């Protein structure tokens, strides 16, 4: 615990210091290079805006209308049948469409069930296991202007599903 903690605390300063010293040794004009590279950051962030606006509006319409809840109610008998706790299903769905939304559900599940309960641990593992496919897709492809995504979405969503199932199986084996 303390090792992992201090590792994550020290990793960033170490990484920054290492890059700076390495550049200096290699006679890079570090400050100028930093400014030159940093300039790209601004235009990248701005070029992302239309992609994020489009995606987030669509997701929040789907959520605020109650369509997401309907979908979950519809699937409930099925999830009961395969012994997946219904509480984590919204998390699994949300994980693919909204990172902050998923984090909200996770902390809610941990608060109401306790961090060391089965559901608390399951929610923690799911939260740590997959990344928000729609977000990654939007940001990564949006920033470089990819409009034809090919089979990328299918691959991302199937990977999420596998991550969700793997989390349930692993947590069930380890903690119950």
Find the binding residues for another protein in span 44-103 (CB under 8 A).
Answer: 44-46, 48-49, 52-67, 70, 103
Measured from the CB of residue 83, what is the shortest distance to another protein in angstroms?
A: 17
Burial classification of residue 67, based on how many CB atoms lie within 10 Å of its CB (0-12 exposed, 13-18 middle, 19 or more buried): exposed
Residue 76 in tokens: 């409930």
Site for another protein in 15-44 (CB under 8 A): 15-16, 19-20, 22-23, 25-26, 28, 30, 33-42, 44
Q: Say whether residue 6 binds another protein (CB under 8 A).
A: no
CB 122 within 8 A of CB 167: yes
Q: Say whether residue 145 binds another protein (CB under 8 A).
A: yes
| Total count of residues recorded for the chain | 176
Q: Say whether residue 111 binds another protein (CB under 8 A).
A: yes
Q: What binding mask, one character per residue, do residues 153-172 give for another protein by CB under 8 A, x or -?
A: xxxx-xxx-xx--xx--xx-
């Amino acid at each position: 615990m303390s090792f992992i903690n201090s590792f994550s605390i020290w990793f960033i300063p170490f990484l920054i210091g290492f890059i700076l010293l390495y550049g200096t040794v290699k006679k890079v004009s570090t400050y100028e290079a930093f400014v030159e590279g940093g300039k790209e950051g601004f235009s990248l962030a701005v070029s992302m805006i239309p992609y994020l606006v489009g995606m987030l509006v669509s997701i929040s319409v789907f959520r605020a209308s109650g369509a997401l809840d309907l979908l979950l109610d519809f699937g409930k008998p099925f999830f009961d049948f395969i012994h997946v706790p219904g509480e984590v299903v919204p998390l699994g769905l949300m994980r693919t469409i909204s990172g902050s939304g998923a984090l909200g559900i996770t902390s809610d599940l941990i608060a109401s069930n306790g961090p060391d309960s089965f559901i608390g641990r399951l929610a923690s593992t799911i939260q740590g296991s997959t990344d928000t496919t729609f977000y990654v897709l939007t940001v990564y492809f949006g920033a470089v202007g990819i409009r034809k995504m090919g089979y990328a979405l299918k691959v991302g969503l199937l990977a999420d599903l596998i991550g969700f199932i793997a989390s349930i199986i692993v947590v069930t084996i380890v903690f119950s």
